[in-house]
């Protein structure tokens, strides 16, 4: 049996700005419940989800628990923050199924438990692109079998959000999600690309080509706009699929203002 590696003497990572708002991560939470709900139901007793870097207030951890319990009774959430003052401020909000812990990318859980889900929103934005892969590997190594890491970025009130979903094998998909009424064109989401992709939105990179094609499909779907922005979005997604983009979802998710693409189609080159 390999020797047990002692836990780090201090949390791994750096404190974020801590900006948070109620309902900021609702699009991500809604997608997690839909995409990962079956895995949570198959998980062992009381699967644990981690809200990593929840910020100066605990709203997102509270909301994640509420959302997960719509698909798996008994799910638990642990909010993990590297700033001990934020952990102390969150403790009054603890209740059955919801606790808060001091830590970072090592994801400390009682008894060395492995989470079924780690959500890291607006955490890696401050890091260098070259640091992302190592953080992804570290977090995925903490997951329980069949677990999921969801890492991405959104605006301050959750209207625009892009995230990557990863498992033990690495990145699987990229999801673009928006409040469609606030969107002029799909490429408005470029400013919310996660750190692994935001600097790759340049000619010659796949994510740039995808957003260009999405804008063109959106423009071609303009006749659907009088019906609703939702209908225009659905038509645009249909066009992308017809062009050969490997979309991992369908009309049920498109109606929510989402489009999910296989990671290999958007992965950085070189």
pLDDT digits 0-9 by tens, 125-174: 999 999 999 999 999 999 999 999 999 999 999 999 999 999 999 999 99
Sorted by where each starts, the structural domains of the chain and their CATH numbers stand as: 1-157 (3.40.50.150), 176-269 (no CATH)
Res 9: pLDDT: 60
Give 2 or 110, the one with higher predicted confidence.
110
Determine the average pLDDT of the residues in 221-245.
98
Rounded to 10 degrees, what is the CA torsion of 228, 27, 148, 123? Answer: 130
Side by side, the strands of the sheet bearing 48-52 are: 98-102, 76-81, 48-52, 117-121, 148-154, 160-167, 170-178, 258-262
Res 2: pLDDT: 35
Pair type for strands 160-167 and 98-102: unpaired
229-242 vs 206-220: helix crossing angle, rounded to 10:
130
pLDDT digits 0-9 by tens, 12-62: 988 887 788 889 999 999 999 999 999 999 987 899 999 999 999 999 999
d(CA 165, CA 151): 7
What is the value of pTM for the model shown? 0.94
């Amino acid at each position: 049996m390999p020797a047990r590696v002692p836990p780090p003497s201090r949390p791994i990572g750096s404190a974020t700005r801590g900006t948070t708002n109620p309902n900021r991560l609702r699009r991500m939470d809604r997608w997690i419940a839909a995409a990962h709900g079956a895995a949570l139901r198959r998980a062992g007793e009381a699967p644990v989800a981690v809200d990593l870097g929840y910020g100066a207030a605990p709203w997102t951890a509270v909301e994640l628990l509420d959302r997960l319990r719509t698909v798996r009774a008994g799910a638990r959430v642990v909010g993990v923050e590297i700033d001990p003052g934020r952990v102390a401020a969150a403790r009054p909000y603890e209740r059955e199924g919801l606790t808060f812990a001091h830590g970072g990318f090592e994801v400390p859980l009682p008894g060395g438990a492995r989470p079924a889900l780690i959500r890291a929103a607006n955490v890696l934005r401050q890091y260098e692109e070259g640091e992302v892969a190592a953080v992804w590997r570290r977090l995925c190594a903490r997951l329980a079998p069949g677990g999921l890491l969801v890492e991405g970025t959104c605006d301050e009130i959750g209207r625009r959000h892009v995230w990557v979903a990863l498992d033990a094998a690495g990145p699987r998909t990229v999801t673009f999600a928006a409040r469609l009424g606030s969107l002029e064109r799909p490429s408005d989401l470029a400013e919310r690309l996660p750190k692994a992709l935001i600097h790759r939105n340049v000619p010659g990179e796949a994510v740039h080509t995808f957003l260009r094609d999405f804008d063109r499909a959106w423009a071609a779907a303009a006749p659907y706009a009088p019906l609703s922005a939702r209908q225009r979005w659905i038509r645009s997604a249909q066009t992308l699929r017809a062009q050969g983009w490997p979309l991992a979802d369908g009309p049920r998710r498109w109606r929510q203002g989402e489009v999910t693409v296989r990671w290999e189609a958007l992965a950085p080159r070189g």
